[in-house]
């Protein structure tokens, strides 16, 4: 007897089912918890989907809707199809096919998929990479993450070592803080406005709320010189990865070596037991260009490149996932 698949749009009555599934999935992180996804729910029209096989939940798709397109959630750094731990390839294919058909039947013409970088998955999870090929999907963007494999570290460059030594001579202090006010108001907001005419993705109120919801996953590290904040970084910590969400320092960062000092401490001490240390992207202009100085600085700590792909899929192509097996 053929298995019966069902696709259901997420609603609040599935809150526990969704979160329990993400917690035990092979490629989920706390960013897919509904309490994280919904901190900015006023900005997005949620269109998250849940896929059942014979009434058992096998996959979820964090997503939002814009006109006749559904996006792998635009409020998250990464996304894609979140899958159960023991799932096999054939089931992934069938589940993805019914998702596309569901979207097509509901007048959604395009699915824009923001893939999860491979370093975040507990088990191999590249099934949808192959499905993108079968579906003749369009690669619309590719970002480059600078990542350190903490079990196989490269030596830190002389430039970064010299910065660390300068900081040591200036007796800088790194502290983990539970409040974000100092870093946001004294360093981050000012720098982003001055250098990029922009604001942090998260307001101070939002990051404070998220910290309350995820106290062990969202961490703030500040650097002090003579009891005054001179630099800091906000870290999103998942089971395998320490991801740098924000980096910023005052105008004395080169003279003091504040960022070099902070990141040597984070890499060598605070997050040494993680599998990966992810500095995030240095891309600009929709992935087409790279900030050379920023990339050089990250690679000085031993970071190397991991790609993150973004695809556009026509939902009408769901039938291209038939007759794959021979």
**Which architecture does CATH list for 5-142+309-321?**
3-Layer(aba) Sandwich (3.40)
276-281/241-249 β-pairing: parallel
Q: Are 121 and 27 in contact (CB under 8 A)?
A: yes
Q: How far apart are CA 202 and CA 223, in angstroms?
A: 21
- 5-142+309-321 and 152-274 in the same fold: yes
- The residues near 13 (Cβ < 8 Å, ≥ 6 apart) are none
pLDDT score, position 30 = 98
pLDDT under 50: residue ranges of the chain = 1
pLDDT score, position 195 = 85
Domain over 152-274 is classified CATH 3.40.630.30: yes
213 backbone dihedrals φ, ψ, rounded to 5° = -75, -35
Which SS3 state, helix, strand or coil, does residue 95 take? helix
Cα 322 to Cα 90, 139, 318, 325: the distances in Å are: 11, 22, 8, 8
Residue whose pair of structure tokens reads 């014979």 in the numeric block: 54
pLDDT score, position 179 = 98
pLDDT score, position 192 = 95
Q: Using one digit for the tens of pLDDT, what is the confidence trace for 129-161?
A: 999 999 999 999 999 999 999 999 999 999 999
Q: Where are the domains of the chain?
A: 5-142+309-321, 152-274
Q: How far apart are CA 304 and CA 153, in angstroms?
A: 10
pLDDT score, position 205 = 97
Which pTM was predicted? 0.95
At 224, which helix (H) or strand (E)?
A: strand 218-225
Q: Which residues pair with 276 in a beta bridge?
A: 149, 241
């Amino acid at each position: 007897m053929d298995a019966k698949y069902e696709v259901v749009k997420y609603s609040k009555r599935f809150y526990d089912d969704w979160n329990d599934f993400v917690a035990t999935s092979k490629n989920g992180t706390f960013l897919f918890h509904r309490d994280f996804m919904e901190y900015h729910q006023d900005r997005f029209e949620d269109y998250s989907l849940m896929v059942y096989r014979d009434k058992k939940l096998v996959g979820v798709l964090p997503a939002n809707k814009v006109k006749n397109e559904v996006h792998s959630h635009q409020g998250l750094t990464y996304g894609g199809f979140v899958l159960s731990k023991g799932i096999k390839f054939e089931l992934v294919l069938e589940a993805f096919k019914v998702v596309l058909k569901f979207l097509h039947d509901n007048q959604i013409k395009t699915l824009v998929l923001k893939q999860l970088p491979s370093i975040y998955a507990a088990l191999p999870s590249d099934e949808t990479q192959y499905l993108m090929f079968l579906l003749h999907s369009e690669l619309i963007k590719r970002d480059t993450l600078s990542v350190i494999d903490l079990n196989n570290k490269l030596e830190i460059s002389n430039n970064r070592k010299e910065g660390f030594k300068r900081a040591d001579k200036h007796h800088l202090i790194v502290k983990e803080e539970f409040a974000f006010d100092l870093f946001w108001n004294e360093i981050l907001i000012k720098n982003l406005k001055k250098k990029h005419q922009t604001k942090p993705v998260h307001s101070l109120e939002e990051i404070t709320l998220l910290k309350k919801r995820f106290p062990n996953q969202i961490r703030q590290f500040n650097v002090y010189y003579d009891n005054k904040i001179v630099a800091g970084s906000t870290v999103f910590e998942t089971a395998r990865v320490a991801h740098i969400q924000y980096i910023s320092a005052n105008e004395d960062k080169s003279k003091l070596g504040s960022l070099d000092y902070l990141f040597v401490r984070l890499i060598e001490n605070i997050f040494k037991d993680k599998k990966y240390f992810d500095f995030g992207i240095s891309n600009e202009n929709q992935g087409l260009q790279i900030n050379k100085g920023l990339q050089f600085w990250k690679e000085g700590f031993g970071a190397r490149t991991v790609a993150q792909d973004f695809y556009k899929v026509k939902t009408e192509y769901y039938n291209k996932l038939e007759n794959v097996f021979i």
